């Protein structure tokens, strides 16, 4: 079984697209999708009504992404464990490419490229995209790296079991700290540009500057 874990907060505008993309994967094996959500909008209602196959863990108190991922992992069964964000859409072969590389290589973590998912491609969205993901563009070759953001990464289950998970004290860099721990302990991370997700960025300047 393969596990996909998604942290979520107030994702009503993007969650349906995210989950539909996961349902339309070309991967034929067993899988589970776990959404750890602390939204105050209609996100949990959308999931309950339209995506009954998704395991929804709804938290009343706003929860940081690292803690949400840790909670999701404790409730998971699969190997490998894939992470994506609620404002992202995975390409149809996203899951199958992740799984194939985990089965054929010893890499502790495998991830890929982040594409700009904004249809209008506003200047604000492009600024956010390049500022956050310039090192993870699809034009880069497959290579070993020291970090891939958790919107498009996967880990062998034993790696997560042997760790203390994502430390919320380092939010919003908890994934960077975790991957630093990983490589410091002799593990390797593979970047494959063919493993692709589309990220929807803020298009409002005030929200972008706040972020």
Quote the pTM value: 0.89
pLDDT at 136 over 80: no
**CATH number, domain containing residue 84:** 3.90.550.10
CB atoms within 10 A of CB 152: 28
Averaged confidence pLDDT in the chain:
90
User: Looking at the 3D structure of the chain, how many domains does it have?
Assistant: 1
Q: Say how far apart CA 110 and CA 136 lie, in whole Å.
A: 13
User: Do the beta carbons of residue 112 and residue 152 sit within 8 Å?
Assistant: yes
Q: Give the mean model confidence (pLDDT) for residues 69-75.
A: 98
| pLDDT value for 140 | 81
Distance (Å, whole) CA 27 – CA 202? 30
Per-residue pLDDT, averaged over 123-150, amounts to 73
CA 96 from chain centre, in angstroms, equals 15
The pLDDT tens digits of the residues spanning 170-200 come to 998 999 999 999 999 999 999 999 999 999 8
Q: What is the pLDDT of residue 78?
A: 98
Cα 33 to Cα 3, 76, 77, 186, distances in angstroms:
6, 9, 10, 30
Q: By C-alpha distance, which of 85, 209, 204, 55 is closest to 150?
A: 85
Kind and range of the H or E element at 196? strand 189-199
Confidence of residue 114 (pLDDT cuts 50, 70, 90): very high
The Cα 131–Cα 125 span in angstroms is 10
Higher-confidence residue: 126 or 143? Answer: 143
Q: Give me the mean pLDDT over the 66-78 stretch.
A: 98
Residue 163 in contact with residue 81, Cβ under 8 Å? no
Is it the case that residue 208 has pLDDT exceeding 60?
no
Confidence of residue 134 (pLDDT cuts 50, 70, 90): low
Give the pLDDT score at 200. Answer: 86
**Per-residue pLDDT tens for 2-54?**
999 999 999 999 999 999 999 999 999 999 999 999 999 999 999 999 999 99
Domain with 86 in it: 2-210
Radius of gyration of the chain (CA): 16
Confidence (pLDDT) at 14: 97
In the chain, what percentage of residues exceed pLDDT 90? 82
User: From CA 172, how far away is CA 27, in angstroms rounded?
Assistant: 31
Which strand (E) or helix (H) includes residue 95?
helix 94-104
d(Cα 190, Cα 159) in Å, to the nearest integer? 14
Whether the per-residue pLDDT at 203 is higher than 80: the answer is no
């Amino acid at each position: 079984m393969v596990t996909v874990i998604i942290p979520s907060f107030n994702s009503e505008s993007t969650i349906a697209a995210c989950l539909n993309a996961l349902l339309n994967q070309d991967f034929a094996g067993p899988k589970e999708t776990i959404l750890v959500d602390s939204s105050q909008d209609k996100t949990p209602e959308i999931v309950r009504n339209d995506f009954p196959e998704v395991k929804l863990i709804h938290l009343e108190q706003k929860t940081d992404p690292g803690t949400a991922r840790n909670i999701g992992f404790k409730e998971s069964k699969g190997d490998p464990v894939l992470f994506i964000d609620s404002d992202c859409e995975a390409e149809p072969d996203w899951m199958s490419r992740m799984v194939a590389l985990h089965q054929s290589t010893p890499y502790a973590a495998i991830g890929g490229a982040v594409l700009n998912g904004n249809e209008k491609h506003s200047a604000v969205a492009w600024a956010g995209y390049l500022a956050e993901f310039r090192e993870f563009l699809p034009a880069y070759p497959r290579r070993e790296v020291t970090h891939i953001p958790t919107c498009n990464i996967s880990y062998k289950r034993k790696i997560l079991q042997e760790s203390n998970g994502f430390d919320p004290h380092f939010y919003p860099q908890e994934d960077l700290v975790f991957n630093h721990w990983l490589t410091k302990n002799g593990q390797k991370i593979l970047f494959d540009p063919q493993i692709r997700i589309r990220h929807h960025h803020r298009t409002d300047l005030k929200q972008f500057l706040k972020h």
